[in-house]
Copies of this chain bind each other. A is one copy, B any other.
Amino acid sequence: MVAKTKPVKRTRDLEKTRKEILSVAFNEVFRRSFQGVSIDDIVKKTQLTKGALFHQFPTKLDLGYALVDEVIQPMILERWIDPIEAFENPVDGILHQIEELIGKADPRYLRYGCPLNNLMQEMAPVDAGFRDRLQSALRLWISGVEVQLRRGKREGQIKKEVHPKDAAHFIVMAHEGLYGILKGLDDPSAFKSMYRPLKTYLRTLEN
C-alpha cells in the first residue's frame, strides 16, 4: 500500500510545485519581460528552494518554453476560443470576449499588454525554441477562430462569401493591435476608438 501511494503523492506534489512555479513566473514575466526577470526573482516569490525549481526546469529557457506550452496555450483556448463556441453566432462571441477581457479589464492590467504578444515581440527574434512555441500558440489561436467562423458559415450566421482564414488572421491581428496600442497609450478611452471600427468590420461578416 505504502509503496503504491507514495509515488502518486509525489507526482501530485511535483505537479503542484510545477504549477506554482509557472504561475509565479507567468506573473513576473508578464510584468517585467522574460529577459528582465531572473530565476532568483522567481524563487524569491515562491515557498520553494532554487533546487526544487531546477529539478523541474533545468534552465531558464525550459521555464520560458513551459510558460508558452502550459500557461499561454491553455489561456488562449480558455479565453478566446472555447467561450465563442457557446454563442450561436461566432461574431457575437468574439465581440463579447473582446468587451469582457479587454474593454472591461483593469487599466493596470492592460498596461502589461498581451502575454503572448509580449513574449512574441521579445523572444521570437532571439531564440528559435521560443519562436517555434510562440508560432504554435499563435496558429492555435488563428485556426481556432477560423473553425468558429467556418461553423458560422455552415450554420448560416456568417455570409457565404467570407474567407474564414483571412478573417481569422485579421481578427487575431486586431486583438494583438488592441493590446499593443492600449499598452502603449495607457488611455482606456482608446479602447472604444478601436473597438467601434472593429465591431463595424465584424458585423459586415454576418448574414
Given contact pairs A31-B125, A33-B126, A198 touches B170 in the complex (Cβ within 8 A): yes
- Assign chain A's interface to a size class: 35 or more
Interface of A is mostly: helix
Quick one: which of A95-127 are within 8 Å of B by CB? 111-113, 116-118, 120-122, 124-126
A176 to B180, CA, bound (A): 7
User: Which residues of chain B come closer than 8 Å to A197, judged between CB atoms?
Assistant: 166-167, 169-170, 201
Counted per complex, copies of this chain come to 2
A116 to B138, CA, bound (A): 21
A174 at the interface (CB under 8 A from B): yes
Question: Can you give 7 A-B contacts (C-beta < 8 A)?
Answer: A32-B125, A113-B121, A122-B122, A125-B183, A135-B184, A173-B177, A177-B180
